[in-house]
Every structure is written in C-alpha cells, then in structure tokens.
Amino acid sequence: MSFSILSRQTNIDFAGFRRIAYVISLAFILVGLAAIVWNGGLRYGVDFAGGVMVQIQFDRPIPDEQVKKALQNVELNGLTVQQVGTEDRDYLLRFSASETTDNQNLRHSVSEALKSSIPDNASSIVRLESVGPKVGNDLRNMAIEALFYAVLLITVYISGRFEHSWFMAGAMAAVMWAAVSGASYLGFNQLWGVAIGLAVTLICCWRLKLNFALGAIIALIHDVVATLGLLTLVGVEIDLNVIAALLTLVGYSINDTIVVYDRIRENLRAIPENGPKPSMAEIINKSVNQTMARTIMTSSTTVVASFALFFLGGSVIHDFAFTITMGVIFGTWSSIFVASPILIAFGDAALYQRKASKKDDYERPGEHGIV
C-alpha cells in the first residue's frame, strides 16, 4: 500500500474500514448523548439561559473562596464563581437577574464590594453581560432554528446538484418546513420541533432515494451531535459563540463532503457503458484517495489556525476556538468514513442509475483533488 498523501498516490481501503468507523462514530455519539442526559440537558450560557455574567481580573492570584466571601453581602441570586485562565487571577461570576436589572448599578455594587473586602489586591471588571430570561429563550429558539435551516438548505442544494432533482428538493423543503411549523402549532418546543423536522428529512430522502443528500445529512447530524456531546462532557456552556462555531463547522463539513461527492460523480461518469463495472466500494476508495491531499492540507491548516485562537485568543474566544477545532476533526472524519461509505448501503445499481447524465454544469475538482 503506497502512502504518499501529499502526492495523492494513496491506496487506502476506506470502504473496508467503514464498519469499524461506524462503531467509533456511534461510540462518540452515545458518549456525547450520555453526557447530555447525565447533566440534565445542554449547559446553556447566559446568552440562552438568561442572567448576568461578570468577568473580574485581579492583580495577583486569589482563591475563589475569598472572592465568594467578598460578595456575600451583595444581592446576587444563584451566584457561582468560576476560575478561568491558568494564573488564578481571572474569575467569572454568574447569577440570575430580572429584566429590569441596571448594569451600571450592578457594576458599581460589585466593584465596591471587592474593593472594601479585598483592599490589598486591586480588581477590575473586564466585561459584564446581562440577558433577560425571555430574551435568552428567544435567542435559544432562534439558534436552534438557524442550525436546522442550515441543514435544510444544504439538503436542498445536495439534492439538486447530485440527484438532478431541484423540484423534488424544493418540495421536500416545503414538507420539512411544514413539519417544524406543525410541531410548533401542536405545542412542541423548538428543540422537539427541529428533531421532528430532521426525522421527516431523513425519511423523505430515504423514500425518494436521494442517496447523496441522505449521506450528507447523516454526516452533519453526526458532526453536530458528537461536537455538542463533547462540549457537554468537558463542561463548555452553549452560547452564541458556540452556535456560531457550530454553523461554521456545518459549512466546513459539507464543503469537504461535496468535494468527495464530486469526485465520486466524476468517477461514475467515467465508467464505460459496455465495459466491466467496478463496485461502489472501489469507486468510493478511488475518489477518497484522489481527494486525500486536499483534505489533509485543508484540515491541517484550519486546525493550526483554530489552535492559535485557542491558545492565544484569550478566554473570550476560548470556547469558539475549541468548538471549531473539534468540529473540523469530526467533519473531516465524517466526510471520509460516514458520508461516502454510507452510499454503499444503497447498492451499486441505485447509484449507477444516477450517472446517466453526461452533461456537467459544475466545475470539476482540480487535477490533484484540490479545489
């Protein structure tokens, strides 16, 4: 087996590893779901749960018990103190607040309490964020909708591009939108409505034999669920920064998947009509190996950039960078071991039927698999 990745001369049996890959992916998803259930659901940050978050920085390291003691006379309902960073100088204060909380008075009260109780260690408020409970709930619903509609539009695009069925894709989108709206009308919360919409999406793709779209959706669900589970496992709170990172990784993952799908389509079209036909597993192996150079270089440079943000960007962007890093890893894995090998489950004949059109209205991948 040659293994010259950057010269695109690999000959790895990816399809042969698919069952092992499925077990690994399933393990990640189950561990993530178990972590979410164990914690009583996702850990929402102030953006979605409502409340106030105050980040304080001291000149010198200080134990968290001293910080709690200094604030005990200030009315901060449900106060939690969390140390951030590695020098024991930065702390996050979280507590509940009403819609009418005055941030200026709150800032003044916290500053005065710290100065009077800890006069020998100067402190400053780095940031203060306040979100009311109703606003937080609205933001959470909009974030869930954003993730769902991102997947929905990607499904429509994949169906139209690879299945040559734009009308069917549009009809399916209307059905999915109706499913989410109907679930909301029947009293289901937003999260359950989106879950019902995704279930309808998968059923539609299966019944309509939209094989490429189904593979892409399963890969995206894999990426989002595995990443959310890992975030819950390590104690990261879900806020607007994390949602932005999740939307970014959805776009990144589908871009990687489309490159592989494009190569699969080209290799299907290159099969002679009257000659011997390779199996779908052989076509997938050939296609993934041809795009391996592009995948390795794109993923590695993205991970390097996200590592730089993670280690040098500060605590404010820490969770965003961590989510991007994990999402790129899961997205690359799913493009190779989930989205492509799952096409084998539909059988060779079902996919050979899709190669009938010789007309290609789209740009082909580059000569070395780099787009």
Query: What's the pLDDT at 1?
Result: 44
80 and 33, same structural domain? no
**Residue 56 forms beta bridges with which residues?**
91, 125
Task: Let me know if residue 370 belongs to a domain.
Answer: no
Tens digit of pLDDT at every position of the chain (371 positions):
444 555 555 778 888 888 898 899 899 889 888 888 888 888 887 777 777 888 888 888 888 788 888 888 887 777 778 777 667 788 888 877 665 567 788 888 888 888 888 888 778 888 887 777 677 777 777 887 787 778 778 878 887 777 766 777 777 777 777 777 777 777 777 777 777 778 887 887 788 777 888 888 888 888 988 898 888 888 888 888 888 888 888 888 888 888 888 888 888 888 777 767 778 888 888 888 888 888 888 888 989 999 888 888 777 788 889 999 998 999 899 988 888 888 887 655 455 555 544 444 444 444 333 33
Pair 280, 354: CB distance under 8 Å: no
319 and 274, same structural domain? yes
The encoded tokens of residue 245 equal 């990172």
Domain that includes residue 283, residue range? 5-43+135-355
Tell me the whole-structure pTM to 2 decimals.
Answer: 0.77
Chain-centroid distance of CA 52 in Å reads 26
Among 108, 131, 154, the domain-final residue is 131
Chain-centroid distance of CA 256 in Å reads 14
Provide CB contacts within 8 A for 285, sequence distance 6+.
11, 12, 13, 14, 15, 16
Task: Let me know if residue 14 belongs to a domain.
Answer: yes
3-state secondary structure 61-127: CCCHHHHHHHCCCCCCCCCEEEEECCCCCEEEEEECCCCCCCHHHHHHHHHHHHHHHCCCCCEEEEE
Question: Which residue intervals of the chain are DSSP H helices?
Answer: 18-38, 46-49, 64-70, 103-117, 133-163, 166-185, 190-207, 211-233, 240-269, 280-290, 292-312, 318-334, 348-352
Task: Let me know if residue 115 belongs to a domain.
Answer: yes
Q: How far apart are CA 93 and CA 64, in angstroms?
A: 11
Return the closest-CA partner of residue 234 out of 325, 303, 169: 325
Pair 64, 265: CB distance under 8 Å: no
202 and 107, same structural domain? no
Q: Could you identify the residue written with the tokens 């978050």?
A: 53
CATH of the domain at 344: 1.20.1640.10
Pair 231, 323: CB distance under 8 Å: yes
**Count of structural domains, the chain:** 2
Classify residue 44 by its DSSP letter: B
CATH of the domain at 107: 3.30.70.3400
The encoded tokens of residue 359 equal 């007309």
Amino acid at 368: H
Count of other CB atoms within 10 angstroms of residue 241:
19
Q: Could you identify the residue written with the tokens 């597993």?
A: 281
Query: What's the pLDDT at 323?
Result: 92
Task: Let me know if residue 363 belongs to a domain.
Answer: no
Radius of gyration for the alpha carbons in the chain, expressed in angstroms and rounded: 25
Query: What's the pLDDT at 91?
Result: 84
Per this entry, what is the length of the chain?
Answer: 371
Query: What's the pLDDT at 369?
Result: 38
Task: Let me know if residue 365 belongs to a domain.
Answer: no
Classify residue 362 by its DSSP letter: S
Task: Let me know if residue 194 belongs to a domain.
Answer: yes
150 and 70, same structural domain? no
DSSP of 125-150: EEEEEEE-HHHHHHHHHHHHHHHHHH
140 and 100, same structural domain? no
30 and 142, same structural domain? yes
Classify residue 339 by its DSSP letter: I
Among 80, 112, 131, the domain-final residue is 131
110 and 16, same structural domain? no
36 and 59, same structural domain? no
269 and 162, same structural domain? yes
